[in-house]
Amino acid sequence: MSKTKYVTQFCTTCGRESKMEIIGAVVGAENKVWFRCTRCHHSMMIDQVNHQKGHDNVIKINREECINYSPEKIFEVGTAIYHTDWDDMGKVKSKEKTSSGANAIWVEFEKSGIKKLIENLQLAD
Ligand SMILES: [Zn+2]
């Protein structure tokens, strides 16, 4: 048996911050945890939502890190690229080989969103 853990939480029954015993996670709801107030012995479910969420989608790319996009170049997944025509920066999310044998990359651009671009283009002469 592991030692009982305690946290300080606001108890709505006591109307003040109290020492709470962590009983355990709520089955089927990973973000919710049962607590029991050591003062009034009232149990309550507390949502442990990660408030950091939402920031993950923000792309932070430095212009200096970007490789200028050109269809003849080959790009790796995760590479930051800059599209000169669109004046937009993005990151390579995945790669694809089209049915015609051409190579393509899926890029998430800051302004334009997700776009498919040609890479490793073989110039016919
Ligand atoms: Zn209480």
* Banded pLDDT at 49 (limits 50, 70, 90): low
The total domain count for the chain is 2
Confidence of residue 1 (pLDDT cuts 50, 70, 90): low
Residue 57 domain-assigned (yes or no): no
Domain identity same for 85 and 113:
yes
Q: State the distance from the centre of ligand 1 to the C-alpha of 39, rounded, in angstroms.
A: 5
117 touches 95 (CB < 8 A): no
68 and 115 both lie in a single domain: yes
Q: What is the CATH number of the domain that holds 39?
A: 2.20.25
Contact 33, 20 (CB under 8 A): no
Nearest to 118 by CA among 74, 73, 71: 71
Domain encompassing residue 24: 6-47
At 52, the amino acid letter reads Q
The alpha carbon of 47 and the centre of ligand 1 are apart by a number of angstroms equal to: 17
Q: How far is the CA of 67 from the centre of ligand 1 (A)?
A: 58
Q: Do 68 and 43 belong together in one domain?
A: no
In a domain, 18, yes or no: yes
In this structure, is residue 102 part of a structural domain?
A: yes
Q: How confident is the model at residue 58 (pLDDT cuts 50, 70, 90)?
A: low
Decide: 6 and 22 in contact? Cβ < 8 Å.
yes
Query: What pLDDT does 59 receive?
Result: 55
pLDDT digits (tens, 9 = 90+) for 66-100: 999 999 999 999 999 999 999 999 999 999 988 88
